Structure 1
Protein backbone atom coordinates (compact mmCIF):
# COMPACT_ATOMS: atom_id res chain seq x y z
CA UNK A 1 0.00 0.00 0.00
CA UNK A 2 1.07 3.57 -0.53
CA UNK A 3 1.76 5.99 2.30
CA UNK A 4 -1.48 7.93 1.84
CA UNK A 5 -3.54 4.75 2.13
CA UNK A 6 -1.66 3.75 5.28
CA UNK A 7 -2.18 7.17 6.84
CA UNK A 8 -5.88 7.16 5.98
CA UNK A 9 -6.12 3.61 7.37
CA UNK A 10 -4.63 4.75 10.68
CA UNK A 11 -6.92 7.77 10.79
CA UNK A 12 -10.02 5.71 9.92
CA UNK A 13 -9.22 3.05 12.51
CA UNK A 14 -8.69 5.60 15.28
CA UNK A 15 -11.76 7.65 14.32
CA UNK A 16 -13.85 4.49 14.61
CA UNK A 17 -12.17 3.75 17.96
CA UNK A 18 -13.04 7.25 19.22
CA UNK A 19 -16.65 6.67 18.22
CA UNK A 20 -16.90 3.69 20.59
CA UNK A 21 -14.54 4.77 23.41
CA UNK A 22 -13.64 7.79 25.51
CA UNK A 23 -10.08 8.31 24.28
CA UNK A 24 -8.98 11.89 23.59
CA UNK A 25 -9.94 12.32 19.90
CA UNK A 26 -7.18 14.70 18.81
CA UNK A 27 -4.40 12.68 20.43
CA UNK A 28 -5.51 9.23 19.37
CA UNK A 29 -6.20 10.25 15.76
CA UNK A 30 -2.85 12.05 15.41
CA UNK A 31 -1.11 9.08 17.04
CA UNK A 32 -2.93 6.72 14.67
CA UNK A 33 -1.67 8.66 11.67
CA UNK A 34 1.91 8.52 13.00
CA UNK A 35 1.64 4.85 13.94
CA UNK A 36 0.35 3.99 10.48
CA UNK A 37 3.71 4.80 8.86
CA UNK A 38 6.06 3.37 11.52
CA UNK A 39 6.21 -0.22 10.13
CA UNK A 40 7.66 1.08 6.85
CA UNK A 41 10.84 2.30 8.56
CA UNK A 42 12.31 -0.78 6.87
CA UNK A 43 11.81 0.80 3.42
CA UNK A 44 14.03 3.76 2.51
CA UNK A 45 11.55 5.01 -0.10
CA UNK A 46 8.63 5.23 2.37
CA UNK A 47 7.41 8.42 4.04
CA UNK A 48 9.16 7.57 7.30
CA UNK A 49 12.17 6.03 5.56
CA UNK A 50 12.85 9.32 3.76
CA UNK A 51 12.62 11.24 7.06
CA UNK A 52 15.03 8.88 8.85
CA UNK A 53 17.24 7.45 6.07
CA UNK A 54 20.06 6.17 8.30
CA UNK A 55 17.69 4.26 10.59
CA UNK A 56 15.71 3.00 7.60
CA UNK A 57 18.77 1.61 5.83
CA UNK A 58 20.04 0.02 9.04
CA UNK A 59 16.67 -1.67 9.76
CA UNK A 60 16.43 -2.85 6.15
CA UNK A 61 19.93 -4.34 6.25
CA UNK A 62 19.20 -6.15 9.50
CA UNK A 63 15.72 -7.46 8.70
CA UNK A 64 14.68 -6.69 5.12
CA UNK A 65 11.29 -5.32 4.10
CA UNK A 66 8.01 -6.44 5.66
CA UNK A 67 9.56 -8.78 8.19
CA UNK A 68 10.32 -7.67 11.77
CA UNK A 69 8.66 -4.24 11.48
CA UNK A 70 5.53 -5.87 10.07
CA UNK A 71 5.17 -8.41 12.87
CA UNK A 72 3.27 -8.87 16.10
CA UNK A 73 6.65 -8.96 17.88
CA UNK A 74 7.42 -5.41 16.69
CA UNK A 75 3.93 -4.25 17.65
CA UNK A 76 4.36 -5.58 21.20
CA UNK A 77 7.89 -4.15 21.46
CA UNK A 78 6.74 -0.69 20.36
CA UNK A 79 3.85 -0.88 22.83
CA UNK A 80 6.28 -1.69 25.65
CA UNK A 81 8.71 1.08 24.67
CA UNK A 82 5.86 3.59 24.51
CA UNK A 83 4.88 2.79 28.12
CA UNK A 84 8.42 3.76 29.16
CA UNK A 85 7.95 7.26 27.72
CA UNK A 86 4.28 8.05 28.34
CA UNK A 87 1.32 6.80 30.29
CA UNK A 88 -1.15 8.60 28.00
CA UNK A 89 -3.34 5.78 26.74
CA UNK A 90 -4.67 7.88 23.84
CA UNK A 91 -1.16 8.15 22.42
CA UNK A 92 -0.16 4.53 23.09
CA UNK A 93 -3.39 3.01 21.78
CA UNK A 94 -3.45 5.39 18.80
CA UNK A 95 0.05 4.46 17.68
CA UNK A 96 -0.64 0.75 18.10
CA UNK A 97 -3.96 0.96 16.21
CA UNK A 98 -2.23 2.87 13.40
CA UNK A 99 0.49 0.23 13.23
CA UNK A 100 -2.06 -2.59 13.28
CA UNK A 101 -3.97 -0.95 10.43
CA UNK A 102 -0.72 -0.83 8.46
CA UNK A 103 -0.16 -4.56 8.97
CA UNK A 104 -3.73 -5.33 7.95
CA UNK A 105 -3.45 -3.25 4.78
CA UNK A 106 -0.09 -4.76 3.78
CA UNK A 107 -1.51 -8.25 4.33
CA UNK A 108 -3.85 -7.50 1.43
CA UNK A 109 -0.90 -7.06 -0.95
CA UNK A 110 0.56 -9.87 -3.05
CA UNK A 111 3.79 -9.99 -1.03
CA UNK A 112 2.02 -10.10 2.35
CA UNK A 113 3.85 -9.72 5.68
CA UNK A 114 5.85 -11.83 8.14
CA UNK A 115 3.26 -11.42 10.90
CA UNK A 116 4.83 -14.10 13.13
CA UNK A 117 8.46 -13.05 12.60
CA UNK A 118 10.98 -14.57 13.27
CA UNK A 119 9.02 -17.48 11.84
CA UNK A 120 9.41 -17.38 8.07
CA UNK A 121 5.69 -17.60 7.35
CA UNK A 122 4.07 -15.13 4.99
CA UNK A 123 0.62 -13.93 5.98
CA UNK A 124 -1.66 -12.57 3.26
CA UNK A 125 -5.36 -12.51 2.64
CA UNK A 126 -6.78 -14.82 -0.04
CA UNK A 127 -7.66 -11.71 -2.08
CA UNK A 128 -4.76 -9.40 -2.85
CA UNK A 129 -4.14 -6.18 -4.72
CA UNK A 130 -1.28 -4.34 -6.33
CA UNK A 131 0.26 -1.43 -4.42
CA UNK A 132 -0.83 1.81 -6.07
CA UNK A 133 -3.34 0.03 -8.33
CA UNK A 134 -7.00 0.82 -8.97
CA UNK A 135 -8.22 -1.40 -6.15
CA UNK A 136 -6.03 0.47 -3.70
CA UNK A 137 -7.70 3.70 -4.82
CA UNK A 138 -11.06 2.12 -4.00
CA UNK A 139 -9.74 1.11 -0.56
CA UNK A 140 -8.49 4.68 0.01
CA UNK A 141 -11.92 6.04 -0.94
CA UNK A 142 -13.67 3.58 1.40
CA UNK A 143 -11.33 4.50 4.28
CA UNK A 144 -12.08 8.17 3.64
CA UNK A 145 -15.83 7.49 3.70
CA UNK A 146 -15.48 5.55 6.98
CA UNK A 147 -13.49 8.44 8.44
CA UNK A 148 -16.12 10.99 7.42
CA UNK A 149 -19.01 8.84 8.60
CA UNK A 150 -17.58 8.09 12.05
CA UNK A 151 -15.82 11.43 12.39
CA UNK A 152 -18.77 13.69 11.55
CA UNK A 153 -19.73 13.91 15.25
CA UNK A 154 -16.21 15.06 16.17
CA UNK A 155 -16.59 18.20 14.08
CA UNK A 156 -19.93 19.29 15.50
Structure 2
Protein backbone atom coordinates (compact mmCIF):
# COMPACT_ATOMS: atom_id res chain seq x y z
CA UNK A 1 0.00 0.00 0.00
CA UNK A 2 1.00 3.60 -0.53
CA UNK A 3 2.23 5.84 2.30
CA UNK A 4 -0.90 8.08 2.36
CA UNK A 5 -3.12 5.03 2.81
CA UNK A 6 -1.01 3.79 5.70
CA UNK A 7 -1.14 7.25 7.32
CA UNK A 8 -4.93 7.35 7.06
CA UNK A 9 -5.14 3.81 8.43
CA UNK A 10 -2.87 4.74 11.34
CA UNK A 11 -5.04 7.69 12.30
CA UNK A 12 -8.23 5.66 11.97
CA UNK A 13 -6.84 2.87 14.15
CA UNK A 14 -5.71 5.32 16.82
CA UNK A 15 -9.05 7.14 16.95
CA UNK A 16 -10.99 3.86 17.07
CA UNK A 17 -8.82 2.56 19.92
CA UNK A 18 -9.14 5.90 21.76
CA UNK A 19 -12.91 5.67 21.57
CA UNK A 20 -12.80 2.10 22.81
CA UNK A 21 -10.67 2.86 25.89
CA UNK A 22 -12.13 6.30 26.70
CA UNK A 23 -9.16 8.46 25.66
CA UNK A 24 -9.78 11.90 24.12
CA UNK A 25 -7.31 12.15 21.20
CA UNK A 26 -5.43 15.34 20.43
CA UNK A 27 -4.30 16.61 17.03
CA UNK A 28 -0.56 16.02 17.73
CA UNK A 29 -1.35 12.46 18.79
CA UNK A 30 -3.34 11.88 15.60
CA UNK A 31 -0.42 13.11 13.47
CA UNK A 32 1.93 10.91 15.47
CA UNK A 33 -0.31 7.90 14.78
CA UNK A 34 -0.19 8.72 11.07
CA UNK A 35 3.61 8.85 11.17
CA UNK A 36 3.79 5.61 13.17
CA UNK A 37 1.73 3.99 10.43
CA UNK A 38 4.77 4.29 8.16
CA UNK A 39 7.36 2.80 10.55
CA UNK A 40 7.03 -0.91 9.64
CA UNK A 41 8.32 -0.05 6.15
CA UNK A 42 11.69 0.49 7.78
CA UNK A 43 12.58 -2.86 6.16
CA UNK A 44 12.25 -1.36 2.66
CA UNK A 45 15.33 0.63 1.67
CA UNK A 46 13.58 2.41 -1.21
CA UNK A 47 10.56 3.42 0.88
CA UNK A 48 9.98 6.80 2.54
CA UNK A 49 11.12 5.66 5.99
CA UNK A 50 13.84 3.42 4.57
CA UNK A 51 15.48 6.33 2.75
CA UNK A 52 15.53 8.31 6.01
CA UNK A 53 17.40 5.52 7.83
CA UNK A 54 19.43 3.68 5.17
CA UNK A 55 21.92 2.39 7.73
CA UNK A 56 19.06 0.38 9.29
CA UNK A 57 16.69 -0.33 6.40
CA UNK A 58 19.32 -1.93 4.14
CA UNK A 59 20.45 -4.61 6.62
CA UNK A 60 16.84 -5.28 7.65
CA UNK A 61 15.73 -5.87 4.08
CA UNK A 62 18.86 -7.84 3.21
CA UNK A 63 18.70 -10.08 6.29
CA UNK A 64 14.94 -10.58 6.78
CA UNK A 65 13.18 -9.29 3.67
CA UNK A 66 10.25 -6.90 3.26
CA UNK A 67 7.03 -7.46 5.26
CA UNK A 68 8.63 -9.86 7.70
CA UNK A 69 10.17 -8.87 11.04
CA UNK A 70 8.95 -5.26 11.23
CA UNK A 71 5.46 -6.26 10.02
CA UNK A 72 5.06 -9.07 12.56
CA UNK A 73 2.81 -9.33 15.58
CA UNK A 74 5.96 -9.86 17.63
CA UNK A 75 7.31 -6.44 16.59
CA UNK A 76 4.06 -4.71 17.60
CA UNK A 77 4.01 -6.44 20.99
CA UNK A 78 7.67 -5.69 21.73
CA UNK A 79 7.21 -2.05 20.73
CA UNK A 80 4.15 -1.72 22.99
CA UNK A 81 5.96 -3.25 25.97
CA UNK A 82 9.09 -1.16 25.49
CA UNK A 83 7.25 2.16 25.20
CA UNK A 84 4.62 1.55 27.91
CA UNK A 85 6.74 2.87 30.84
CA UNK A 86 8.28 5.66 28.77
CA UNK A 87 5.39 7.49 27.09
CA UNK A 88 2.20 9.21 28.25
CA UNK A 89 -0.93 7.17 27.65
CA UNK A 90 -2.16 9.12 24.62
CA UNK A 91 1.23 9.13 22.91
CA UNK A 92 1.64 5.41 23.60
CA UNK A 93 -1.76 4.66 22.10
CA UNK A 94 -0.93 6.73 19.02
CA UNK A 95 2.39 5.00 18.36
CA UNK A 96 1.21 1.46 19.02
CA UNK A 97 -2.12 1.76 17.18
CA UNK A 98 -0.51 3.49 14.21
CA UNK A 99 2.28 0.94 13.99
CA UNK A 100 0.01 -2.09 14.34
CA UNK A 101 -2.37 -0.77 11.68
CA UNK A 102 0.31 -1.03 8.99
CA UNK A 103 0.67 -4.83 8.78
CA UNK A 104 -3.10 -5.26 9.08
CA UNK A 105 -3.57 -2.95 6.09
CA UNK A 106 -0.89 -4.82 4.14
CA UNK A 107 -2.78 -8.07 4.70
CA UNK A 108 -5.43 -6.68 2.35
CA UNK A 109 -2.95 -6.83 -0.54
CA UNK A 110 -2.21 -9.94 -2.68
CA UNK A 111 1.25 -10.47 -1.13
CA UNK A 112 0.14 -10.26 2.51
CA UNK A 113 2.62 -10.16 5.42
CA UNK A 114 4.49 -12.61 7.61
CA UNK A 115 2.44 -11.60 10.64
CA UNK A 116 3.52 -14.61 12.71
CA UNK A 117 7.22 -14.16 11.91
CA UNK A 118 9.59 -15.96 12.46
CA UNK A 119 7.12 -18.42 10.96
CA UNK A 120 7.17 -17.99 7.20
CA UNK A 121 3.41 -18.04 6.69
CA UNK A 122 1.94 -15.19 4.68
CA UNK A 123 -1.24 -13.82 6.24
CA UNK A 124 -3.84 -12.25 3.94
CA UNK A 125 -7.33 -10.76 4.22
CA UNK A 126 -9.67 -11.88 2.76
CA UNK A 127 -8.81 -15.42 1.72
CA UNK A 128 -10.11 -14.95 -1.83
CA UNK A 129 -7.39 -13.15 -3.80
CA UNK A 130 -9.93 -11.52 -6.11
CA UNK A 131 -11.10 -9.29 -3.24
CA UNK A 132 -7.67 -8.10 -2.15
CA UNK A 133 -6.40 -4.65 -3.11
CA UNK A 134 -3.52 -3.99 -5.44
CA UNK A 135 -1.17 -1.12 -4.69
CA UNK A 136 -2.15 2.10 -6.45
CA UNK A 137 -5.37 0.47 -7.64
CA UNK A 138 -8.98 1.60 -7.31
CA UNK A 139 -9.47 -0.73 -4.40
CA UNK A 140 -6.78 0.99 -2.35
CA UNK A 141 -8.20 4.40 -3.23
CA UNK A 142 -11.68 3.32 -2.15
CA UNK A 143 -10.29 1.91 1.11
CA UNK A 144 -8.42 5.15 1.88
CA UNK A 145 -11.50 7.27 1.19
CA UNK A 146 -13.71 4.99 3.31
CA UNK A 147 -11.29 5.12 6.25
CA UNK A 148 -11.05 8.90 6.01
CA UNK A 149 -14.84 9.27 5.96
CA UNK A 150 -15.38 6.88 8.86
CA UNK A 151 -12.67 8.60 10.91
CA UNK A 152 -14.60 11.89 11.07
CA UNK A 153 -17.56 10.68 13.19
CA UNK A 154 -15.24 8.47 15.25
CA UNK A 155 -13.03 11.49 15.98
CA UNK A 156 -16.01 13.58 17.07
CA UNK A 157 -17.20 10.80 19.38
CA UNK A 158 -13.75 10.25 20.85
CA UNK A 159 -13.02 13.96 21.35
CA UNK A 160 -16.36 14.45 23.04
CA UNK A 161 -15.26 11.71 25.41
CA UNK A 162 -18.68 10.20 25.97
CA UNK A 163 -19.89 10.39 29.53
CA UNK A 164 -19.48 6.64 29.83
CA UNK A 165 -15.78 6.95 28.89
CA UNK A 166 -14.61 3.56 27.71
CA UNK A 167 -17.13 2.02 25.36
CA UNK A 168 -15.93 -1.42 26.36
CA UNK A 169 -16.18 -0.74 30.10
CA UNK A 170 -19.59 0.82 29.61
CA UNK A 171 -20.83 -2.23 27.77
CA UNK A 172 -19.63 -4.48 30.58
CA UNK A 173 -20.82 -2.18 33.35
CA UNK A 174 -17.83 -3.04 35.56
CA UNK A 175 -17.93 -0.99 38.78
CA UNK A 176 -14.17 -1.42 39.23
CA UNK A 177 -13.59 0.22 35.84
CA UNK A 178 -16.07 2.96 36.74
CA UNK A 179 -14.25 3.60 40.01
CA UNK A 180 -10.86 3.63 38.29
CA UNK A 181 -12.03 6.24 35.81
CA UNK A 182 -13.66 8.35 38.50
CA UNK A 183 -10.52 8.32 40.66
CA UNK A 184 -8.39 9.31 37.66
CA UNK A 185 -10.58 12.22 36.52
CA UNK A 186 -12.55 13.42 39.54
CA UNK A 187 -12.43 17.02 40.67
CA UNK A 188 -13.01 18.92 37.44
CA UNK A 189 -16.55 17.70 36.71
CA UNK A 190 -19.74 16.51 38.32
CA UNK A 191 -20.29 12.76 38.09
CA UNK A 192 -23.31 10.49 37.95
CA UNK A 193 -23.39 6.76 38.59
CA UNK A 194 -25.67 4.88 36.22
CA UNK A 195 -26.29 1.65 38.04
CA UNK A 196 -28.34 -1.50 38.07
CA UNK A 197 -28.60 -3.12 41.47
CA UNK A 198 -30.62 -3.85 44.58
CA UNK A 199 -30.81 -2.95 48.24
CA UNK A 200 -28.75 -5.35 50.37
CA UNK A 201 -31.41 -5.42 53.10
CA UNK A 202 -34.73 -5.30 51.29
CA UNK A 203 -33.53 -6.69 47.93
CA UNK A 204 -35.60 -3.97 46.27
CA UNK A 205 -34.48 -2.80 42.82
CA UNK A 206 -32.56 0.50 43.04
CA UNK A 207 -31.51 0.91 39.41
CA UNK A 208 -31.19 4.50 38.20
CA UNK A 209 -28.88 7.50 37.84
CA UNK A 210 -27.46 8.97 41.07
CA UNK A 211 -25.01 11.85 41.68
CA UNK A 212 -21.65 10.62 42.95
CA UNK A 213 -20.54 12.14 46.24
CA UNK A 214 -17.20 10.38 46.43
CA UNK A 215 -15.24 7.15 46.57
CA UNK A 216 -16.19 4.44 49.04
CA UNK A 217 -13.71 1.90 50.41
CA UNK A 218 -11.74 -0.09 47.84
CA UNK A 219 -13.99 -0.18 44.78
CA UNK A 220 -17.29 1.43 45.69
CA UNK A 221 -19.05 4.78 45.57
CA UNK A 222 -20.90 7.09 47.89
CA UNK A 223 -23.94 8.43 46.05
CA UNK A 224 -26.75 10.88 46.76
CA UNK A 225 -30.26 9.44 46.76
CA UNK A 226 -33.66 10.95 47.64
CA UNK A 227 -33.43 9.14 50.99
CA UNK A 228 -29.93 10.45 51.73
CA UNK A 229 -26.33 9.31 51.10
CA UNK A 230 -25.88 5.64 50.21
CA UNK A 231 -22.86 3.39 49.75
CA UNK A 232 -22.74 1.07 46.74
CA UNK A 233 -20.33 -1.73 45.86
CA UNK A 234 -20.26 -5.39 44.80
CA UNK A 235 -20.22 -6.88 48.29
CA UNK A 236 -22.60 -7.07 51.21
CA UNK A 237 -20.63 -4.42 53.12
CA UNK A 238 -22.47 -1.57 51.35
CA UNK A 239 -26.06 -0.42 51.50
CA UNK A 240 -26.67 -1.30 47.86
CA UNK A 241 -25.30 -4.15 45.79
CA UNK A 242 -24.33 -3.20 42.24
CA UNK A 243 -24.77 -5.56 39.30
CA UNK A 244 -23.69 -3.02 36.68
CA UNK A 245 -22.30 0.52 37.02
CA UNK A 246 -21.03 3.22 34.68
CA UNK A 247 -19.49 6.53 35.80
CA UNK A 248 -20.90 9.35 33.64
CA UNK A 249 -19.03 12.65 33.49
CA UNK A 250 -21.17 15.79 33.74
CA UNK A 251 -20.70 19.53 33.59
CA UNK A 252 -17.53 21.26 34.72
CA UNK A 253 -17.00 22.17 38.36
CA UNK A 254 -14.18 23.22 40.68
CA UNK A 255 -13.42 21.52 43.99
CA UNK A 256 -12.01 23.83 46.67
CA UNK A 257 -10.95 22.73 50.15
CA UNK A 258 -10.75 24.56 53.45
CA UNK A 259 -9.17 23.22 56.64
CA UNK A 260 -10.62 23.47 60.14
CA UNK A 261 -8.46 22.66 63.16
CA UNK A 262 -9.95 23.71 66.49
CA UNK A 263 -9.73 22.56 70.08
CA UNK A 264 -13.41 23.19 70.69
CA UNK A 265 -16.51 24.57 69.05
CA UNK A 266 -20.23 23.82 68.83
CA UNK A 267 -22.52 22.54 66.08
CA UNK A 268 -24.03 26.02 65.86
CA UNK A 269 -20.63 27.67 65.50
CA UNK A 270 -19.49 25.19 62.90
CA UNK A 271 -22.73 25.52 60.98
CA UNK A 272 -22.45 29.32 60.99
CA UNK A 273 -18.88 29.08 59.66
CA UNK A 274 -20.02 26.83 56.83
CA UNK A 275 -22.96 28.98 55.72
CA UNK A 276 -20.86 31.22 53.39
CA UNK A 277 -19.46 28.08 51.75
CA UNK A 278 -22.91 26.57 51.27
CA UNK A 279 -23.91 29.73 49.45
CA UNK A 280 -21.40 29.03 46.67
CA UNK A 281 -21.74 25.26 46.21
CA UNK A 282 -22.09 21.78 47.67
CA UNK A 283 -20.25 21.35 50.97
CA UNK A 284 -18.95 18.09 52.44
CA UNK A 285 -17.10 17.46 55.72
CA UNK A 286 -14.24 14.95 55.86
CA UNK A 287 -12.24 14.25 59.01
CA UNK A 288 -12.58 13.62 62.73
CA UNK A 289 -13.71 15.21 65.98
CA UNK A 290 -14.53 14.22 69.55
CA UNK A 291 -18.01 14.55 71.06
CA UNK A 292 -20.29 12.68 73.42
CA UNK A 293 -23.69 11.33 72.50
CA UNK A 294 -23.35 11.54 68.71
CA UNK A 295 -25.39 8.87 66.97
CA UNK A 296 -23.78 7.07 64.02
CA UNK A 297 -25.40 7.72 60.68
CA UNK A 298 -24.15 5.36 57.98
CA UNK A 299 -22.47 5.83 55.67
CA UNK A 300 -21.28 9.40 56.37
CA UNK A 301 -20.99 9.51 60.21
CA UNK A 302 -19.09 6.73 61.99
CA UNK A 303 -18.85 6.76 65.79
CA UNK A 304 -16.52 4.79 68.09
CA UNK A 305 -16.95 5.86 71.70
CA UNK A 306 -16.43 9.63 71.69
CA UNK A 307 -14.54 9.59 68.37
CA UNK A 308 -16.54 10.73 65.36
CA UNK A 309 -15.37 10.26 61.77
CA UNK A 310 -17.05 12.17 58.96
CA UNK A 311 -16.98 10.78 55.43
CA UNK A 312 -18.40 13.32 52.97
CA UNK A 313 -20.97 14.38 55.56
CA UNK A 314 -23.31 17.23 54.62
CA UNK A 315 -23.50 20.25 57.00
CA UNK A 316 -27.16 19.41 57.65
CA UNK A 317 -25.99 16.64 59.99
CA UNK A 318 -24.91 19.33 62.49
CA UNK A 319 -28.53 20.22 63.17
CA UNK A 320 -29.03 16.76 64.72
CA UNK A 321 -26.21 17.24 67.25
CA UNK A 322 -27.91 19.88 69.40
CA UNK A 323 -25.68 22.10 71.58
CA UNK A 324 -23.17 19.48 72.70
CA UNK A 325 -19.52 20.61 72.64
CA UNK A 326 -17.30 19.47 69.78
CA UNK A 327 -13.63 19.02 70.53
CA UNK A 328 -10.37 18.26 68.71
CA UNK A 329 -11.67 19.09 65.25
CA UNK A 330 -9.49 18.10 62.27
CA UNK A 331 -11.74 18.62 59.27
CA UNK A 332 -11.34 19.14 55.57
CA UNK A 333 -14.22 21.10 54.11
CA UNK A 334 -14.76 20.27 50.45
CA UNK A 335 -16.69 22.80 48.36
CA UNK A 336 -17.81 21.89 44.84
CA UNK A 337 -18.89 24.87 42.79
CA UNK A 338 -19.00 26.31 39.29
CA UNK A 339 -15.62 27.54 37.98
CA UNK A 340 -16.52 31.25 38.08
CA UNK A 341 -17.21 31.38 41.84
CA UNK A 342 -14.72 32.47 44.51
CA UNK A 343 -14.78 30.41 47.70
CA UNK A 344 -14.57 32.35 50.99
CA UNK A 345 -12.42 31.35 53.93
CA UNK A 346 -13.77 29.57 57.02
CA UNK A 347 -14.02 31.57 60.25
CA UNK A 348 -15.10 30.05 63.56
CA UNK A 349 -16.58 32.48 66.10
CA UNK A 350 -17.01 30.53 69.32
CA UNK A 351 -17.82 33.46 71.58
CA UNK A 352 -20.98 34.49 69.73
CA UNK A 353 -22.01 31.14 68.32
CA UNK A 354 -22.77 29.07 71.37
CA UNK A 355 -19.64 27.39 72.71
CA UNK A 356 -19.48 29.92 75.54
CA UNK A 357 -22.73 29.96 77.56
CA UNK A 358 -24.72 33.14 77.13
CA UNK A 359 -24.49 33.89 80.87
CA UNK A 360 -20.69 34.07 80.72
CA UNK A 361 -20.28 36.08 77.54
CA UNK A 362 -20.78 39.54 79.13
CA UNK A 363 -18.18 38.78 81.78
CA UNK A 364 -15.66 37.58 79.16
CA UNK A 365 -16.30 40.62 76.99
CA UNK A 366 -16.02 42.90 80.04
CA UNK A 367 -12.74 41.27 80.99
CA UNK A 368 -11.41 41.84 77.47
CA UNK A 369 -12.28 45.55 77.70
CA UNK A 370 -10.55 45.89 81.09
CA UNK A 371 -7.43 44.19 79.67
CA UNK A 372 -7.37 46.56 76.72
CA UNK A 373 -7.86 49.63 78.98
CA UNK A 374 -4.86 48.61 81.03
The normalised TM-score by structure 2 is 0.39
Q: Which residue of 1 aligns with 2:8?
A: 8
Match of 1:136 in 2: 140
In structure 1, the gaps of 5 or more residues are: none
Aligned ranges 1:39-78 → 2 under 5 Å: 39-78=40-79
* Residue in 2 that maps onto 1:25: 25
Structure possessing the higher relative contact order (Cα contacts under 8 Å, 6 or more residues apart): 1
Higher share in helix = 1
Equivalent position of 1:101 in the other structure: 101
User: Does 1:148 find its partner at 2:152?
Assistant: yes
Match of 1:116 in 2: 116
Aligned to 1:34: 35
Q: Deviations over 1:66-102 (max 9, x none)?
A: 0111101111121222235x14121222211112211
The structure whose Rg is larger is 2
Structure 1 residue 17, shift from structure 2 partner: 2.6
Q: Secondary structure at the match of 1:15?
A: helix
Number of positions where the alignment pairs a residue of Structure 1 with one of Structure 2: 154
2:18–2:93: 8 Å Cα contact kept in structure 1? no
Quote the Cα distance in structure 1 between the aligned partners of 2:24 and 2:57. 31
How much has 1:33 moved relative to structure 2?
Answer: 1.3
Report the CA distance between 1:14 and its aligned residue: 1.4
The 10-residue stretch of structure 1 (109-118 or 56-65) with the greater mean CA deviation from structure 2? 56-65
Distance in structure 2 (CA, Å) of the matches to 1:30 and 1:17: 15
**Structure 2 unmatched ranges of 5 or more:** 161-374
Deviation per residue, 1:21-62 (Å, 9 max, x gap) = 332512542332122111110012222112212211121112
Please identify which structure carries the higher strand content: 2
String of CA shifts for 1:118-146, please: whole Å, max 9, x gaps: 01111001231111111100001001101
Q: Partners in 1 of 2:48 and 2:149 — Cα distance? A: 23
Q: Structure 1 residue runs of 4+, over 6 Å off? A: none
TM-score, normalisation: structure 1: 0.89
